[in-house]
Amino acid sequence: MVLRTLCVTFLCTFVLPLTLFLAALKLWEVYCLRRKDPSCEKPLPPGSMGLPFLGETLQLVLQRYKFLKMKVRKYGHIYKTHLFGNPTVRIMGAENVKQILLGEHKLVSVQWPASVRTILGAGCLSSLHDSEHKHRKRVILKAFSREALENYIPVMGEEIRAGLRRWLDSGSCVLVYPEMKRLMFGIAMRILLGFEPTHTTQQTQQELIEAFEEMIRNLFSLPIDVPFSGLYRGLKARNVIHAKIEENIRKKVARREAPAHFQDALQLLIEHSEKSEHPLRLQELKESATELLFGGHETTASTATSLVTFLALHPAVLRKVRGELQEQGLLSRDTADNKQITIELLAQLKYTGSVIKETLRMSPPVPGGFRVALKTFVLNGYQIPKGWNVIYSICDTHDVATNFSKKDEFNPDRFMEGSSEKDACRFSYIPFGGGSRSCVGKEFAKILLKIFTVELVRACDWELLNGPPTMKTNPTVYPVDNLPTKFTPFPYKM
């Protein structure tokens, strides 16, 4: 009797739940496989769909790097999974990525996870489609014209020099990544939104930084808007940002005159919107400004932090950058203080530009992009069913590119004139995406990063206190230890 009771208890406690769990897994697998398009004879990509309903989202969030590397080792350059509530195909490699990026509006369309769409809003550029996307992109590109960029340069230099002085004056360890975000946020506040550097603005900036941190932490979360959920916290932070931006928009509309020194991106956006046949509503302006502020500081802060890292780890590269600055009269105090930095002068800094390109190759700030299949199509011998999400990986595409030799080595010379790798397939190197949805602010980012590099290497020497950092992605790439670094003055002359 006792034995029978123990057996029944064991069966009910262990065997039955395990059986039900395995049955649920099997039913989930069958359900997912039924999403295959029967009209296409090609098989689905290899891969697994994870747990019922949750898919493999938790593994991605908790073990991003290990999870993704394991998938690539096991399944190759294209595989299926289930992420953020949808069956998904993740791809990498120049030819696969080319088909996706050039297939915009024909094979695929942009579709970020529900939490991203909800928080950033349906009116931001990254969520628009077809004619709406083309029109908004044309308007926003006015804020990144050559003339506009030329006017932004003095403000960039002023803010960067002030930030570097703070690091040098601290006399102790500087946590580079949070300080870099503060620096790049201040630049974005002035150039993109037109906030002047006053005490009140500093308070506003700190409030916005804290709100952005909260919003970004919850950008990729379960799409459940209940108190204390990630989406709830992200929306609450987004509302703080929108309130500050709306206040600034109303001031600009009320003034109706352009600033004497330059027009910021938001001012240009408002003016071009008013002249358009389809002017932007206030909510659309707020969403566009939020997207500009997010893209204008988060990605540049990530890349600038990587630049500090790579230049510290490769002193020979740093010496070559300083040599180039010396040739252009930007390193000797006698000439550099009186030499105005222009777009033309920055274009002459070929090696410095190659250092930035190599940094973006090895550590692209954005890991990839999201699309949805508009119809069933074939990619590399596998069917991608209509309605499935498609994620293309930027970092993995760089890693598997066959045209880059010794891919794990930091070698800016590969992008210099005369190198066989300089003109490699354009889809092997995609730090700014590609196709019709390539980053609208990429020229802004390139100029900002080049000015930062110039000001950094002629003002500072530095040492990474923890050595090479471990990198993490959430949602952009950053060092886990925030990159503690000791900065000392550089003599500013050769």
> Three-state secondary structure along 288-338?
HHHHHHHHHHHHHHHHHHHHHHHHHHCHHHHHHHHHHHHHCCCCCHHHHCC
The reply to whether omega before 223 is within 30° of 0 (cis) is no
Q: What is the CA radius of gyration of the chain?
A: 25
- The verdict on 483 and 366 lying in the same domain is yes
- Give the CATH number for residue 179: 1.10.630.10
Question: Is residue 452, in this structure, part of any structural domain at all?
Answer: yes
pLDDT tens digits along 431-490:
998 888 888 889 999 999 999 999 999 999 999 999 999 998 877 899 999 999 999 999
Q: Please name the residues in contact with 4: beta carbons below 8 A apart, sequence gap of 6 or more.
A: none
Q: What is the pLDDT of residue 2?
A: 59
Query: In terms of residue numbers, what domain contains 288?
Result: 125-489
- Packed helices 176-191 and 146-170: angle between N→C axes, nearest 10 degrees: 140
Contact between residue 464 and residue 313 where contact means Cβ atoms under 8 Å apart = yes
pLDDT tens digits along 256-273:
655 555 678 888 788 877
Q: In this structure, what token pair is assigned to residue 267?
A: 């001012």
- Give the position of tokens 């997912």: 32
Q: CA 348 to CA 307: how far, in whole Å?
A: 19
Q: CA 424 to CA 401: how far, in whole Å?
A: 9
Q: CA 71 to CA 52: how far, in whole Å?
A: 19
- The verdict on 316 and 419 lying in the same domain is yes
Residue 38 DSSP symbol: T
Question: Is residue 359, in this structure, part of any structural domain at all?
Answer: yes
Q: What is the pLDDT of residue 494?
A: 42
Burial label for 319, CB within 10 Å (0-12, 13-18, 19+), is exposed
pTM: 0.87
Residue 87 DSSP symbol: E
Phi first, then psi, for residue 385 (nearest 5°) are -70, 150
Burial label for 78, CB within 10 Å (0-12, 13-18, 19+), is buried
Domain count for the chain: 2
Query: Which residue type is seen at 113?
Result: P
- The verdict on 21 and 133 lying in the same domain is no
- The verdict on 27 and 135 lying in the same domain is no
- The verdict on 12 and 151 lying in the same domain is no
- The verdict on 129 and 276 lying in the same domain is yes
- The verdict on 166 and 28 lying in the same domain is no
- The verdict on 264 and 390 lying in the same domain is yes
Q: CA 100 to CA 388: how far, in whole Å?
A: 13
Per-residue exposure over 165-178, b if at least 16 CB sit within 10 Å of its own CB, e if not: eebbeeeeebebbb
Task: Give the residue ranges of the chain where pLDDT is below 70.
Answer: 1-35, 197-202, 256-262, 332-338, 424, 492-494
Question: Is residue 114, in this structure, part of any structural domain at all?
Answer: no
Residue 444 DSSP SS3? helix
For the chain, helix, strand, coil in percent to 5 are: 55, 10, 30
